[in-house]
Amino acid sequence: MTLFAAMRNWIEERFNWADLTAPLREKAVPAHDLSYWYFLGGITLFLFGIQVCTGILLLLYYRPSATEAFESVQYIMTRVQFGWLVRSIHSWAANLMIFTAFCHMFSVLFLGAYRKPREMTWITGMLLLFLAMGFGFSGYLLPWNTLAFFATKVGTEITGQVPVIGHGLKVFLRGGEDVTGATLTRFFGFHVALLPGLTTLLLLTHIALVQYFGMSVPPAVEARWKALPSEARHIKFFPNFFLRELMAWYIALGVLGALAAILPWELGTKADPFAPAPAGIRPEWYFMFMFQTLKKIPAKVWFADGDVLGIMAFGVAGILWVLLPFFDPAGDKRGRKLVLGAGMFALSYIIAMTIYGYMAK
């Protein structure tokens, strides 16, 4: 008896192997010309796994204090064998993960996968995206370099402009009135304990929901399949779809390795709380469209502070975005048009403002 057969036998005697593996055997994925978009969520999940692994590796050498953080990252990148690679992969995978998460979100929007009964899948997905951005924002500060220091100053100051709770929130995030070593310690705690815990819970919920409802079929394909039921095609999740997903992961890993090796992530200069902000301060690219908007809003709009107005607008837009599925109830053509319009507008706004942000000096 081979080892595998012995193990299987051991399990068979205690649990029902057939019952255990039934979901795997029965799960099917719709096959049509838009099936490729199904890979994006899986790729995002894979990149999250990379983040957990490389994050644990970085924790072996990183020191979360204002006096040691920059030096410890420098040490990782120059002294630790392959430290540059691990850190570079962590930074690149973070950015790619946010990118694939955004693509995943827009594909879900345009392919109508958020519709009833999948509203909760959309909402948990949006919360996961916010958590991912929180990961990005808190992780950005950890090397304690000039760019990150000022980006954090601006980012937390923006939080401070929220009416009523703003100031308290800012002090809570910064660990005081200013961005100091106390901020670094807090962000470190958020980045390695609070956010991973929340993300694990939400991620499991999100994946369980996807399993429960199965893959959504885009409205156009669904209409075609309804008219001609013989057209409908499915492939088995295991092993057919799973192997394709593995190939996608392998390609993602290849892209990630190449980027990390060819364009290693820079460290910059150590943050000095008493030096002027250098030119070219910018947040990470996925905050760029908001950053650029705030930069272009006049100081006073009518009688209100321009920034407060901008922040409130983004806040309201964010909440509406999370509730998007509820604007498109089943059988309402106007709702679908509204959501598609909002999606096109948001996508073009984000792309245009991001490009503008990088072109403008």
Partner 1 sequence: MVADSNPQSKPARRRIIQVLLGGGLLGSFASFIYPVLRYLVPPPVAELGGDQVIAGKIAELKPNSAKIFRFGSRPGLLIRNSDGSYRALSATCTHLGCIVQYHGDVQEIWCACHNGFYDLNGRNVSGPPPRPLEVYEVHLQGDDVLVSRKREA
Catalog residues that contact partner 1 under the rule CB under 8 A: 150, 153-154, 157-158, 168, 171-172, 174-178, 182, 273-281, 294-295, 297-300, 305-307, 361
For partner 1, which is the closer residue by CB, 119 or 305? 305
For partner 1, which is the closer residue by CB, 284 or 307? 307
Q: Considering the complex, what minimum distance in angstroms separates the CB of residue 273 from partner 1?
A: 7
Residue 206 burial by CB count (10 A; 0-12/13-18/19+): exposed, middle or buried?
A: buried
For partner 1, which is the closer residue by CB, 220 or 304? 304
User: Distance (Å, rounded) from C-alpha 133 to C-alpha 357?
Assistant: 18
Place of tokens 């690679």: 85
Q: Considering the complex, what minimum distance in angstroms separates the CB of residue 306 from partner 1?
A: 7
Determine contact, residues 82/167, Cβ cutoff 8 Å: no
Question: 103-132 as b/e, with b when 16 or more CB fall inside 10 Å?
Answer: ebbbbbbbbbbbbeebbebbbbbbbbbebb
Inter-CA distances, 200 with 92, 104, 138, Å: 21, 19, 17
User: Distance (Å, rounded) from C-alpha 169 to C-alpha 154?
Assistant: 14
Q: Considering the complex, what minimum distance in angstroms separates the CB of residue 183 from partner 1?
A: 10
Q: Considering the complex, what minimum distance in angstroms separates the CB of residue 171 from partner 1?
A: 7
Q: Considering the complex, what minimum distance in angstroms separates the CB of residue 280 from partner 1?
A: 7
Assign 62 to helix, strand or coil: coil
Determine contact, residues 308/161, Cβ cutoff 8 Å: yes
User: Distance (Å, rounded) from C-alpha 308 to C-alpha 159?
Assistant: 10
For partner 1, which is the closer residue by CB, 297 or 347? 297
For partner 1, which is the closer residue by CB, 119 or 157? 157
Q: Considering the complex, what minimum distance in angstroms separates the CB of residue 196 from partner 1?
A: 19
Q: Considering the complex, what minimum distance in angstroms separates the CB of residue 165 from partner 1?
A: 13
Name which of 76, 84, 81 is nearest 60 in CA terms: 76
User: Distance (Å, rounded) from C-alpha 207 to C-alpha 254?
Assistant: 25
User: Distance (Å, rounded) from C-alpha 150 to C-alpha 141?
Assistant: 9
Name which of 47, 56, 73, 58 is nearest 128 in CA terms: 47
For partner 1, which is the closer residue by CB, 214 or 306? 306
* Residue 234: strand pairing partners: 30
Q: Considering the complex, what minimum distance in angstroms separates the CB of residue 178 from partner 1?
A: 7
Q: Considering the complex, what minimum distance in angstroms separates the CB of residue 46 from partner 1?
A: 35
User: Distance (Å, rounded) from C-alpha 83 to C-alpha 271?
Assistant: 21
For partner 1, which is the closer residue by CB, 8 or 300? 300
For partner 1, which is the closer residue by CB, 85 or 309? 309
